[in-house]
Chain A
């Protein structure tokens, strides 16, 4: 077995175990619950968590390839920032006009915010990507990073503004949403559809992403339509990120750590890295959520907090273990 197929087998096994643990874990402790609770709460929550984790990890892998930066994640797009503004804005407006907001309302606000941020991103980058790749023309990686980071910064200022305007009662819900929260996440279908579309659009030409990561001009000499490919991949990443954040809030570190860890395990080629990221990212979020629900039961921790608590030290360990560059 090759290193990458061994890593994929490992990810699949982890995903199966995580899903079993996720279904068995509840705020009432480990074990089987009544069929009703299983069907209406636990299984949808596992599906939502898996879909969100998979979408974030795929989006992270795509963003790292597009920006040639191992530190890029789904949030450098600014799309998640837009989703946060939309979700919190919906909560704020609903409270101001005295409407009881359903979970759909928050997710809808997040989706609208993500779409608006994506539209802004594409509006600013479209022409940049439209020019054909030349060895002298520089390339799209740096522009993409800068524009995405700027949109993200603008959104985080808006989020701070909304948090300032919100009253005490709303603040808790908002902060939980920002941390990434699967509590009450039952609408898992949308993120799975978004994930399927994103992978379906990107995967058939995934090998070209490895060429693009080596340089736009070199990829162009191999026959890659550079501008078109960059736009498609960016659209897929924005869709996956927006759907994941609307479903489960801004869960951090999945998109950054999962592709990174897979590369270290020997999964390098994009055609294998992308599906492997989906499986491992889903497994990671489901497993973390199972722990988040049970570790201080009956209290539930936001899954994003625990993901960061696990993600930060493991990421630092990975960086320190990285061999020094010889050049």
Chain B
């Protein structure tokens, strides 16, 4: 996997000049809840996401990871700065045209009514198909392909309300992929996933980026962040933010300061791994 990531990095480096910019944020500032009177989450974020890149958003709870993703998607009020998709300001996009270019997957989904996994995955697929799609016996071939890819084929006819958290998470990824947009904005796509399915997630997202797309995703697991990311946005939770290449941002000292724990970085098979040093309580607690 890490070999995969490294080779893709090489590809994205060599094509840097040519790769199209899918998303650009300039001097972006956000406030909690998007309201003017609330505290500043972070200020002055610049980033430029090109095709082939995977940007991972990292930071403590409440730092503003979800708010950043929602703001990039256009459903969270921006305090200052600008967000452009394909070079066009968010506000200047026709909403349905924007849906062709970026898909946003929220952290929490509401499943108020019974629906199969296949129906849920295909929710945003072929958005102009109207009622005929509801009468199709099987989904479109594309739907079946994505369900297979995410190992959901055996669950395709199950009720989405009966799934485990990790299974539901894969359905959410299927929904986002089937929207058909090159830019994926995913809020905690790895939550509830077991180790094998985390690998699957990384594999699928790397393939999506390699095929000309791009990913911006918030992640809690730093090792997973390293494997997925070409670039990282680190929000420190006290108003600061850094964005850059993963090897520049995912640095043990910096992470230790932001998260308030001692973190060591070690090399395993060419990939960086992060280990939290046990504190005094943990050492004596055994």
Taking CB atoms and an 8 Å cut-off, the chain A residues in 63-111 that contact chain B are 64, 68-70
B70, A4: Cβ atoms closer than 8 Å: no
Tell me if B241 counts as interface (CB < 8 A to partner A): no
Tell me if A136 counts as interface (CB < 8 A to partner B): yes
A263, B114: Cβ atoms closer than 8 Å: yes
Residues on A with C-beta less than 8 A from B124 are 211, 222
Tell me if A217 counts as interface (CB < 8 A to partner B): yes
Render A112-131 as a binary contact track against B, CB cut-off 8 A, 1 for contact: 00000000000000000000
Render B90-121 as a binary contact track against A, CB cut-off 8 A, 1 for contact: 00001111110011101001111111100100
Majority SS at the chain A contact face: loop
B113, A263: Cβ atoms closer than 8 Å: yes
The interface centre, meaning the residue of B116, B161, B163, B165 with most chain A CB atoms within 10 A of its CB, is B161
Total CB contacts across the A-B interface at under 8 A = 116
> Chain B interface (Cβ within 8 Å of chain A)?
33-35, 66-67, 70, 73-77, 94-99, 102-104, 106, 109-116, 119, 123-124, 127, 130-131, 133-137, 159, 161-165, 168, 179
Residues on A with C-beta less than 8 A from B33 are 136
B161, A326: Cβ atoms closer than 8 Å: yes
Q: What is the minimal beta-carbon distance from A93 to any residue of chain B, in angstroms?
A: 42
Closest 6 CB pairs of A and B: A223-B96, A269-B134, A271-B131, A223-B95, A135-B70, A68-B112
Complex CA gap A213/B77 in Å reads 22
> Chain A interface (Cβ within 8 Å of chain B)?
2, 4-5, 64, 68-70, 133-137, 206-207, 210-211, 213-215, 217-218, 220-225, 263-264, 268-269, 271-272, 323-327
Residues on B with C-beta less than 8 A from A263 are 113-114
B76, A134: Cβ atoms closer than 8 Å: yes
Residues on B with C-beta less than 8 A from A70 are 112-113
List, sorted by A's number, 28 A–B pairs whose CB atoms are closer than 8 Å.
Answer: A2-B137, A135-B67, A136-B34, A211-B123, A214-B109, A215-B109, A217-B104, A218-B104, A221-B73, A221-B74, A221-B99, A221-B102, A222-B95, A223-B95, A223-B98, A224-B95, A269-B119, A269-B133, A269-B134, A271-B131, A272-B134, A323-B159, A323-B161, A324-B162, A325-B162, A326-B164, A327-B163, A327-B165
Q: What is the minimal beta-carbon distance from A10 to any residue of chain B, in angstroms?
A: 15
B76, A221: Cβ atoms closer than 8 Å: no
B112, A213: Cβ atoms closer than 8 Å: yes
Residues on A with C-beta less than 8 A from B77 are 134, 136
- Chain B residue at minimal CB-CB distance from A72: B112
B99, A272: Cβ atoms closer than 8 Å: no
A135, B110: Cβ atoms closer than 8 Å: no
